[in-house]
Amino acid sequence: MTTHDTPGIEDYPFTITERVRYRDTDGHGHVNNAVFVTYLETARVVMVQEREDRLLDEGCQYVVARLGIDFLREILCPGEVEIGIRMQKIGRSSFTLDQAIFQDGKCAARAEVVIVQINKAQRRSQPFSEALRARLLELQP
């Protein structure tokens, strides 16, 4: 991921829209950097858990192993943001997402997020089933 490569929201196969709330802002009048992380998290949760075919194997959950964010521009209130997700890479028990936050059609942040599937009982990584791997592949651009 590079900040020079700024995609458009149309480059992301999964998107959601969130309202920017007044409480999201800081003393400078723009959305606090920590709230960017919340927007990204909300989009991931919707993508995984609110789909009919939940993108998760039985008895498992996801944990974030790595999160890197490039802040490209401020987000202002009032307004809305669009959050996009596309699959970068799928491993044995983890995948890497490219996420972006847009306001008024302009990219405000890019994030690279590594997600690991773990077995809830064992608290260790668990390889993806073939069925889940096939559904994850559908999210690649």
- Geometric angle at alpha carbon 135, from 134 and 138, rounded to 5°: 95
Strand 79-90 with 60-71, pairing: unpaired
Q: What is the pLDDT of residue 10?
A: 95
> CA 4, 39, 120, 130 torsion: positive or negative?
negative
What's the CATH code, domain 9-137? 3.10.129.10
Task: Tell me the C-alpha distance between 93 and 125, whole Å.
Answer: 6
Query: Which are the contacts of 96, defined by CB distance < 8 A and separation ≥ 6?
Result: 87, 88, 89, 112, 113, 114, 115
> CA 85, 13, 59, 117 torsion: positive or negative?
negative
pTM, 2 dp: 0.91
pLDDT in tens, 99-108: 999 999 999 9
Q: Where are the domains of the chain?
A: 9-137
pLDDT in tens, 5-63: 778 999 999 999 999 999 999 988 899 999 999 999 999 999 988 777 779 999 999 99
pLDDT in tens, 53-70: 779 999 999 999 999 999
- Would the pLDDT of 124 be above 70? yes
Q: Structure tokens of 34?
A: 């920590």
Q: What is the pLDDT of residue 45?
A: 94
Please list the alpha-helical segments (H only) found in the chain.
Answer: 33-49, 130-137
